[in-house]
Amino acid sequence: MIHKPFKRRYFIQSAALFSAGLAGSFAFPNRTRASDDYIDAVVIGSGFGGAIAALRLGQAGINTLILERGKRWPITPNQNTFATFDKPDGRAAWLSAKSVFNDPIDVYTGVFETLEEKGIIVVNGAGWGGGSLAYNAITYKPKREIFYKVFDYSVVDYDELDSIYYPRVQKMLKASPIPQDVLATTYYGKTRFFMENANKAGLPSFLLDLAVDWDVIRQEINGSKTPSVINGQCWWGVNSGAKNSLDRNYLPQAENTGKVNVLTLHLVTDIAKIPGQENYRVFCNEINESGELIRKKTFTCRYLFIAAGSVATSKLLVKAKAKNSLPQLNNFVGKDWGTNGDNITIRSGLASLTGNGGTAGAVIEQLDGPTPIVVESLELGNNPDGIQSCLGLGIPHSKGNFTYDLSTDSVNLEWPGSADDRIVKKTELLFANLDKSLNTFGKQPRHQTQEGMMMISRSQNNTAVSENNAAAITGHPLGGCVMGKACDPFGRVYGYPRLYVVDGALIPGSTACTNPSFTIAALAERCMDKIIAEDING
């Protein structure tokens, strides 16, 4: 049974922010161009896959250009780089006139994008650092026993990832669990409660590894840094600088090689193989911070790495195939896209429960049986006392596809709708056990679980919410150019030498009950080792 003890509008707003964890439909560009600069390698996007590709290319001595649609977000001495939940402005959204709370804001190249597709809403990070600007910094490795429920043995070796690539990424991101002195503060009361509640219910739990600087968080606690992570301010950026986002590690190291150049506010619209040549051409729009076109540009390269996020990467490839710019792409391109089994539970009636400290907390795993799930404590910055938010992950059976629409010259993502009730039912049973174990002295704890990040339909004024005609939303988009199908096990796109995919598009809809960023990064490191050794240095 789903309980509704508090306003549904609060549930919608809270659930929307869970998505924070990358461009929309593309029109074919005017091919008149002022320049056609050549560079050895072009990397599209600066998220996990793009940042890793750029660093490894730079270290290999390859002249490389990163094209990033968003802007840089340096932490300022005043610690006011990002918008906050209580003071939203254009920095909170990518070229949108409203925030996820429907607050009116100025249109700006902010950090949080919402894509309204057919049957699904996808949210992404945008900016120098991609999704790492907006994610919860959770660095969570899949368990061996369920890894191959998602990945094919012939495509990925878990032991190789476990021994080489996961440790490499974890070391770079400096990910570790909440230290005991931090956990003991009032700011992390909800994390402590989650673990105590799990223990009472006989459900083992453990703290998640988080890519944050705990010394900076200690400064937040003692008042020498602006409160950010300790107040659940994470999804629009962390003003204290506590998050180890990619602009703090992989990306500056890439630039420091002296071989990697960067163009921000450059939105890639199309890619093509140059007829009669071995090179590729990349079409992009240079924009200003209001999203207005400054000029169209093209770049020619020998090596092209696509890392724009699963939706944008898939759209670029599907459109290129449909427009005969990359006609040799196979029919698996644009297929096998999924939501990582996202679901959200909002718990209420938890008397005197306080502390929204983040960027996340602990996790309960139930990996047995045909429907493995996990549930994470993941507090929102605007959660009132007595409310706890939890993110659930599973292995979805539903798959979405990308299709080209000739009438609009655009690519659409089509999601078949809810087909994974088994994940929700098992998650609800877990929370029923948690609720039952509590001694609340007459106050009944309740929970509401929904598949996807939220279910929402908007009226004309964008404020009304109803049960019907609802669309799911996810912040964990995966698939569209799956390894072993659309490309080889190392991201080499079938049919096109020196064309690579190195982001979440490689993954078939799920990272086996974990947050995807860690596995995306590990796979990107693995791809780049092989590509550098065999395609570039070989």
pLDDT at 187 over 70: yes
- Annotated active-site residue in 68, 117, 365, 376: 376
Q: What is the pTM of this model?
A: 0.91
In tens, the pLDDT along 98-108 reads: 987 788 999 99
In tens, the pLDDT along 249-277 reads: 999 999 999 999 999 999 999 999 999 99
Q: What gap in Å lies between CA 73 and CA 238, rounded to an integer?
A: 10
What pLDDT band is residue 55 in, cutting at 50, 70 and 90? very high
pLDDT at 197 over 60: yes
Q: What gap in Å lies between CA 313 and CA 23, rounded to an integer?
A: 8
Q: Which of 500, 504, 475, 505 is nearest to 490 (CA)?
A: 500
Residue 207 near residue 177, CB atoms below 8 Å: yes
Q: What is the pLDDT of residue 235?
A: 87
Q: What is the pLDDT of residue 15?
A: 43
Residue with tokens 């090179």: 279
- Here the tokens at position 96 are 């949108």
Is 525 an annotated catalytic residue?
A: no
Q: What is the pLDDT of residue 484?
A: 98
Is 266 an annotated catalytic residue?
A: no
Residue 306 near residue 45, CB atoms below 8 Å: yes
Question: Does 2 map to a domain?
Answer: no
Share above pLDDT 70 across residues of the chain, in percent, rounded to a whole number? 87
Q: For 115-126, b where at least 16 C-beta lie within 10 A, e where not — what string?
A: bebebbbbbbbb
Which residues have C-beta within 8 Å of that of residue 428, sequence separation ≥ 6?
Answer: 2, 345, 447, 449
CA–CA distance from 8 to each of 208, 443, 453, 464 (Å)?
Answer: 29, 20, 14, 10
Q: What is the pLDDT of residue 461?
A: 31
Q: What gap in Å lies between CA 513 and CA 503, rounded to an integer?
A: 18
In tens, the pLDDT along 109-125 reads: 999 998 999 989 899 99
Domain of 128, CATH number, reads 3.50.50.60
Residue 450 near residue 424, CB atoms below 8 Å: yes
Q: What gap in Å lies between CA 134 and CA 303, rounded to an integer?
A: 29
In tens, the pLDDT along 420-469 reads: 789 989 999 999 999 999 875 555 666 776 655 443 332 223 322 223 33
Indicate the pairing of strand 373-377 with strand 280-287.
Answer: unpaired
- The mean predicted confidence, pLDDT, of the chain is 88
Question: Does 490 map to a domain?
Answer: yes
Overall domain count for the chain? 1
- Here the tokens at position 143 are 């368990």
In tens, the pLDDT along 221-236 reads: 999 999 999 999 988 9
Question: Does 3 map to a domain?
Answer: no
- Phi-psi region for residue 442, left (φ > 0), alpha (ψ -120 to 50) or beta? left
pLDDT at 186 over 80: yes
Which residues have C-beta within 8 Å of that of residue 320, sequence separation ≥ 6?
Answer: 270, 271, 272, 326, 329
What pLDDT band is residue 386 in, cutting at 50, 70 and 90? confident
Question: Does 14 map to a domain?
Answer: yes
- Here the tokens at position 532 are 């550098």
Q: What is the pLDDT of residue 449?
A: 64
Residue 521 near residue 511, CB atoms below 8 Å: no
Q: Which of 195, 191, 194, 182 is nearest to 221 (CA)?
A: 182
- Here the tokens at position 41 are 């390698």
Q: What is the pLDDT of residue 43?
A: 99
Question: Does 142 map to a domain?
Answer: yes
Question: Does 247 map to a domain?
Answer: yes
* Proportion of the chain in helix, strand, coil states, percent, rounded to 5: 25, 25, 50
Question: Does 1 map to a domain?
Answer: no
In tens, the pLDDT along 291-331 reads: 999 999 999 999 999 999 999 999 999 999 999 999 999 99
Q: What gap in Å lies between CA 290 and CA 96, rounded to an integer?
A: 10
pLDDT at 21 over 50: no
Q: What gap in Å lies between CA 324 and CA 210, rounded to an integer?
A: 43
pLDDT at 36 over 60: yes
pLDDT at 14 over 50: no
- Annotated active-site residue in 365, 379, 476, 525: 476
Question: Does 449 map to a domain?
Answer: yes
For residue 266, the surrounding DSSP H or E stretch is: strand 266-273
**Domain encompassing residue 311:** 8-536
| Cα 305 → chain centroid | 19
pLDDT at 17 over 50: no
> What type of residue is 111?
V
Q: Looking at the DSSP assignment, which residues form a beta bridge with residue 38? A: 300
Q: What is the pLDDT of residue 124?
A: 92
Q: What gap in Å lies between CA 442 and CA 98, rounded to an integer?
A: 41
What pLDDT band is residue 136 in, cutting at 50, 70 and 90? very high
